[in-house]
Amino acid sequence: MARAKLLLGNWKMNKTVSEAKEFALGSKEIAAFAKANNVLVGVAPTFLCLQTVKENVADNMIVAAQNCHFENSGAFTGEVSIPMLKEIGVNWVIIGHSERRTYDNETNEKCNKKMVKLIENDMVPVYCVGETLEEYVNGKTKDVVKQQVRIGLAGLSKEAVKKIVIAYEPVWAIGTGKSATQEIAQDVCAYVRSVVREMYGEAAEETLVLYGGSVKPENIKAYLSSPDIDGALVGGASLKLDSYQAMLENLVK
C-alpha cells in the first residue's frame, strides 16, 4: 500500500488570532487542491489560535497542536492537556520538537509518555527527532536518532505504529536556510524507518516519515521524490499562503 503524502506547517510562536483566521479563511482552495491530489495538508498554530483555525478551515485541513501534556488535568501551570484538545476537535499533536527539547526540557522519556497517551486517545502524534550541529559534525546523527526513536516509540502496539508520524529535523537545518541535502535526508529517514522496523517489523512500512528543516517551494519536490520521505514539516515557509500553496503545487508536480 502506498503511503500518504503530508505537508504540515509548524507556525511556532507566530500569528495572532486574527492573522491565523485570515490564513484559515484563505486556505480553502489550497485544501481543495490537496484533496483532489490525495495529499494530506495541515497547520500547527499556537494553542491560542487552534479553535479559531479549526472553525475556519476546510474539513480536510489538519489542525495540529504544537505540544500537549501527558496528564489529563492538574497542577501544571501553562500546560494544555489532551482532553482539552480533543474537545475542540484537534486530533494531531507535534511532540519533541527540537525547540522544545532545547528550551523546555522535552526529553525522549517525556515524549514517550505523551506518545502513549496520544495513542490511547486515538490521536496522531508527530514525533520530531534530529541531531544538533555538534552531533552532526561528530558523525553521531544515527546514534542520536536511534536513541530518540527507540525511547520515544517504546511500548506501542504495531497498529499504533502504523498511525504515527515521525519527522526527521536536523537541528542545524531548522530556520537556518541550510537544508540537508536530499541524500542526507533520504538516508536518515530510511534509517529512522529501519529502527522502527527493528522494533515493530512490517508496521514500519506504514509509518509516515517526514523531513523538516528549511523546506521551501524550491526544494520540496526533491525531498518528496525520495523513497523514504513521505512529506515535510515546514516552519518559515508555511506562514504565508502563497508559499504554502507553492509547496503543495510543487509537491504534487
Least distance from C-beta 212 to ligand PGA, angstroms? 4
Q: Say which amino acid occupies 163.
A: K
Residue among 83 and 175 whose Cβ is closer to ligand PGA: 175
How far CA 11 is from CA of 14, 34, 138, 207, 215, in Å, comes to 6, 19, 31, 23, 13
DSSP-derived 3-state class of residue 230? coil
Residues 10-49: x/- map of binding to ligand PGA (CB under 6 A)?
x---------------------------------------
Catalytic residue among 106, 131, 135, 169: 169
Active site residue 169: yes
Distance CA 7, CA 223 (A): 12
Least distance from C-beta 236 to ligand PGA, angstroms? 4
Among 161, 236, 247, 251, binds ligand PGA (CB under 6 A): 236
Distance CA 156, CA 145 (A): 18
Residues 198-227: x/- map of binding to ligand PGA (CB under 6 A)?
--------------xxxx------------
Q: How many CB atoms lie within 10 A of CB 232?
A: 27
Handedness of CA 161, 232, 5, 32 (dihedral sign): positive
Catalytic residue among 69, 97, 106, 135: 97
Residue 235 within binding range of ligand PGA, rule CB under 6 A: yes
Active-site residue numbers?
A: 97, 169
